[in-house]
Amino acid sequence: MNFVLFDGECGFCQANIQFILRFERAPYFHFASLQSEIGQALCERYNIIDRTSVVVIDQGHAYTESTAALKIAKHLRYFWLCQIFVLVPRFLRDAVYELVAANRKHLPGACLVLTASQRERFHDKR
C-alpha cells in the first residue's frame, strides 16, 4: 500500500489531505496520521526520525519533505507538472518546505469531510 502520513493535529495538513483527495487522478494513496498506530509503525519500519514532516510511502520507499510533496503531486490532476521542481536542488526545495512547515499551524486550514469510500482509505485507529 502507498501511504501519506500527516500530522493529524494540524488543520493545514488535513486541508492538504482534502486537496489530494479532490485532485487525485485515481485512488492511489491511503492515509494515516503520524500519531496513529499505523503511522508510528510505518515510521519505525522505514526509520523515519523526523515525524514533523509529511511522509510518503510509495512502492516500498519512504520520502519526506519536498520530495514527499513531489511524489504526491505526481499522482494529482494538473499538478504532475510540478515534477519540474526536481531540477531544483533538494536543499533549496527543502528550505521552502521547512518554512511552510514551521508556520503551518498558523495557516488557514479546513475541516476534512470525507465520503464513505474515502474514509475506508484512512487507517487512524489509535
**For position 113, what pLDDT does the model report?**
53
Which grid cell sits at 101? 512547515
The answer to whether position 9 is within a domain reads yes
**For position 41, what pLDDT does the model report?**
96
**For position 125, what pLDDT does the model report?**
60
The answer to whether position 50 is within a domain reads yes
Cα→Cα distances 2→47, 76, 84, 108, 111, Å: 16, 14, 22, 27, 24
The answer to whether position 29 is within a domain reads yes
The answer to whether position 88 is within a domain reads yes
The answer to whether position 75 is within a domain reads yes
The answer to whether position 51 is within a domain reads yes
**For position 112, what pLDDT does the model report?**
54
The answer to whether position 125 is within a domain reads no
Q: What range defines the domain where residue 71 resides?
A: 2-119
d(CA 122, CA 117): 10
**For position 59, what pLDDT does the model report?**
95
The answer to whether position 69 is within a domain reads yes
**For position 119, what pLDDT does the model report?**
76
Q: What's the domain count of the chain? A: 1
Q: Give the chain's residues under pLDDT 70.
A: 105-114, 124-126
